[in-house]
Amino acid sequence: MKLSIIPCILLLLHLLPFIISAQHTENQFSLREAVQYGVEHHLIIQKSDYELEIYNQKFREELSGYLPQIIADAAYTNNLKLITQIIPGEFIGQPGRDQAVQFGTKYNASANIDLTQTIIDFEKITGQKIARQNSRISLLNKQKTIELIIYDIATAYNISQVALLQQDDIKGNILKIDTLIASMESQVQNGFSIPVDLKRLQLERTNLQTRLQNAEMEYEQSITLLKYTMAYPLEETIHIEIRSELLPSGRLLREDLMVRSIDLELLAAQDEFTALHLRQMKQSYLPKLSFNFRYGTLAQQNNPNIFRTNTNWYPNSLASLNLSIPIFDGNYKASRVKQLQLEQHQNSLDIKMQQQALDKDVKNATTKLTISQSNMATTKESMDLAEEVYAITYVQFKNGYTPLKDLLDANTEIKETQTAFLRAILEVQSAELELLKVTGNIENILKQQSTQ
């Protein structure tokens, strides 16, 4: 029995790395995958879908006003006490003497069907166009929401990337110090170095370890923010990708981006919405024409069994054309027309101001990206130079030509330039996202990542 368990245990141990790797891959997201997940699962987008469907139903509501309206009704009445009326005596041959007479029957039953059809009502026709315009505005609002979510996810993803790169840099610096500590311990034991130099290296490692802990905390915070913007369960673990092609490349500055502003489209749609309301209000001065048809049947008798076979039913019907002509409403329509005309002037000014703001934002975003790219190139050169200085200083230190202080100073320069370079990467990524956002091309993140 024990012998049969051992092969199973060995098999599980063999498969364990593959199981862990599969779980890691399952929760690993590229930027495109993170954005795609957020767009598919974010509650705000789901709420926008419901809002869009509400306006689609409102269009059906407006459309119903031009469709036939059919109503059926039936009634059964028991006149517990018939109405008494006074008639002149001349009707019954008794002049000068009024008589109290009861008319009607005790039991009545009726059934009717009414059909009403609008023939001419320009207000209802424009009302359908207004409902359609509401749907278009809702669709634009949904698009704007998607763009904002993509921007937030990409920003959080970039911050997490830089935080992870920072950890790698610190770990690399710790390995350097560990190598120096191992060498210094040997030199102290052999009397070639003083113990205080070893203490300095140990202190430097402690400081680096503290920086690593802080970087790990910052990474966890950035990952939590990323999961929140993605609408991903906070209790679940996710991993992000670090690839060289995901780092800024300056490609956007070489592309001719087509500017498409959702805010401008929303203002234009709102202006069209106001124009439709204005048209509808002017059309309220016009006559309305409708057709009505009614058919019914009536039974009257003193026997409560109104549905017996020998009950007499008396049919009735009518057809009519109804014309409604507005004459005077206390200047209500004229006041509303004037208000809507003033709103159109406001909309025109809003569009002009938004266009000016868009031109300013595109120019500023382009300038910011250009400067950020230049700063990143400069910091990259500084970091490479610091690495060269450290390498030379390390050789001189190993040969006894340079004191430990110079080596530690060179190492400090590396740390500072690494931090500056990571900050420059984040600034370029932020500038790229800002340019994509203001030009209405933020969804290109999905297309660009899918083609890589």
Average pLDDT over the chain reads: 86
Under the banding of pLDDT at 50, 70 and 90, the label for residue 71 is very high
| Phi (first) and psi of residue 268, to 5 degrees | -65, -40
Q: Quick one: pLDDT at residue 195?
A: 87
Under the banding of pLDDT at 50, 70 and 90, the label for residue 355 is very high
Q: Quick one: pLDDT at residue 12?
A: 53
| Phi (first) and psi of residue 311, to 5 degrees | -70, 135
Q: Homologous superfamily of 29-66+121-286+330-451 in CATH? A: Outer membrane efflux proteins (OEP) (1.20.1600.10)
Under the banding of pLDDT at 50, 70 and 90, the label for residue 170 is very high
What is the C-alpha separation between 393 and 398, in angstroms, rounded?
Answer: 9
Whether the predicted pLDDT of 152 surpasses 50: yes
Under the banding of pLDDT at 50, 70 and 90, the label for residue 185 is confident
167 contact partners, CB below 8 Å, separation of at least 6:
212, 215, 216, 219
Q: Exposed, middle or buried, 414 (CB in 10 Å: 0-12/13-18/19+)?
A: buried
What is the C-alpha separation between 309 and 110, in angstroms, rounded?
Answer: 16
According to DSSP, the residues that pair with 320 across neighbouring strands are: 292
- What does the pLDDT average to over 41-58? 91
Whether the predicted pLDDT of 317 surpasses 50: yes
Q: Structural domain boundaries of the chain?
A: 29-66+121-286+330-451, 69-119+290-325
| Phi (first) and psi of residue 243, to 5 degrees | -130, 150
Whether the predicted pLDDT of 23 surpasses 80: no
Identify which has the larger pLDDT, 267 or 255: 267
70 contact partners, CB below 8 Å, separation of at least 6:
113, 114, 115, 116
Cα 368 to Cα 107, 181, 356, 419, 448, distances in angstroms: 88, 43, 18, 20, 22
- What does the pLDDT average to over 316-322? 95
Pairing of strands 69-78, 314-324: unpaired
pTM: 0.80
Under the banding of pLDDT at 50, 70 and 90, the label for residue 1 is very low
Identify which has the larger pLDDT, 51 or 243: 51
Listing DSSP states for 426-441 in one string gives: HHHHHHHHHHHHHTT-
According to DSSP, the residues that pair with 295 across neighbouring strands are: 113, 317
What is the C-alpha separation between 396 and 406, in angstroms, rounded?
Answer: 10
Q: Which two tokens stand for residue 446?
A: 């999905």
Whether the predicted pLDDT of 3 surpasses 80: no
What is the C-alpha separation between 228 and 155, in angstroms, rounded?
Answer: 12
- What does the pLDDT average to over 228-238? 93
Burial 31-47, CB ≥16 within 10 A → b, else e: bbbbbbbbbeebeebee
11 contact partners, CB below 8 Å, separation of at least 6:
none
